[in-house]
Amino acid sequence: MDDGCYYDYATQTAGDVLKEITSVYQTDLLDIRWRDFVNLLREKYSVAIEPHIFNDPNLNARLAGVAMLGNYPLIQFNDSTMQSEERKHFTIVHEGVHVFRHKDDLDAEGEAFTDIMENSAYSPEEQVEELITNQAASIIMLNDSALLTCMQNNWGYGKIGGFYEMSASALFERLVNYLHFNLQINSSTARYLVGRYRCGDTTEARNFLPLLISHFDYIVDWFHDFPLTGNALDELYLNLGIGFEAPASHWYQLRHIFPERLNLIS
């Protein structure tokens, strides 16, 4: 099974969670935050959520959270100062996804912190479960509708992370997955583009990704018909009503997305 299938499972799980939140709390997708999922877990599924701090600093640095399933579901998250607040948010959502995915399986047990300490590595099946759960959690924290709206409003990387209370690394993986799985951009290019959005050395470089996502279908159609040249890009920006001349940094980033169009330049 390829990664796309796993992402489909994650998208379905996240979609079910988001649908329940909108139904139970009459909340629009654009307004959903991670805390809404916490409320759903507590109020509808009677999930207990408890902080935990280890006496061992190494464990506080290494272990994030666990979920115990069955009749009395319990989420424990590492509440030490060695875990950032944003990391704690993601941990709670991640463990909540485990609970949600197995809410109808009363024989499911989950795991305690002692289980993690005793097991040196995940089994292949557990690795798949962790992958799906991580991806679903990131979609719940920043769903597709909210992500697209942020891009259309030209929000910067830090503003999105702050508003949705996501760590820089969690947001990075969320955006990479969106580009790779939703827009079919290859993984290495997706990481390059998100890296420029996060840490580009100019405002223009950092502004490219919001523009790309906001106008993706139009841009793809445009460069299906025209080779990737500076003049063609300038004309595209003129048609989009966003300027008469595209920044050079945008052209370099587009080269990573459409390398085959460069071959059409005479």
Domain that holds residue 28: 3-141
Same domain, 102 and 24: yes
Which of 110, 37, 105, 126 is closest to 75 using CA atoms? Answer: 110
With a threshold of 0.75, does the pTM exceed it? Answer: yes
Same domain, 32 and 116: yes
Of 40 and 3, more confident = 40
- The band of 265, judged by pLDDT with boundaries at 50, 70 and 90, is very low
Distance of CA 216 to the CA centre of its chain: 18
In this structure, what token pair is assigned to residue 67? Answer: 């979920």
Whether residue 1 has pLDDT greater than 60: no
pLDDT digits (tens, 9 = 90+) for 122-155: 677 778 888 999 999 999 999 999 999 999 999 9
CATH number at residue 86: 1.10.10
Same domain, 214 and 246: yes
Same domain, 133 and 113: yes
Residue 99 CA to residue 47 CA, distance in Å, equals 8
Same domain, 223 and 120: no
The sign of the torsion formed by the CA atoms of 125, 116, 16, 132 equals negative
Q: Average pLDDT of 251-255?
A: 93
Same domain, 38 and 96: yes
Domain termination residue (choose one: 118, 141, 164): 141
- The band of 266, judged by pLDDT with boundaries at 50, 70 and 90, is very low
Domain termination residue (choose one: 100, 124, 141): 141
pLDDT at res. 264: 47
Query: What's the per-residue H, E or C state across 186-229?
Result: CHHHHHHHHHHHHHCCCHHHHHHHHHHHHCHHHHHHHHHHCCCC
Same domain, 129 and 179: no
Domain termination residue (choose one: 110, 141, 172): 141
- The band of 63, judged by pLDDT with boundaries at 50, 70 and 90, is confident
pLDDT digits (tens, 9 = 90+) for 8-62: 999 999 999 999 999 999 999 999 999 999 999 999 999 999 999 998 898 888 8
Same domain, 109 and 24: yes
76 sits in which H/E element: strand 74-78
Same domain, 124 and 244: no
- The band of 234, judged by pLDDT with boundaries at 50, 70 and 90, is very high
Q: What's the chain's average pLDDT?
A: 91
pLDDT digits (tens, 9 = 90+) for 167-215: 999 999 999 999 999 999 999 999 999 999 999 999 999 999 999 999 9
| Number of domains the chain is built from | 2
Same domain, 110 and 198: no
Which of 128, 142, 125 is closest to 37 using CA atoms? Answer: 142
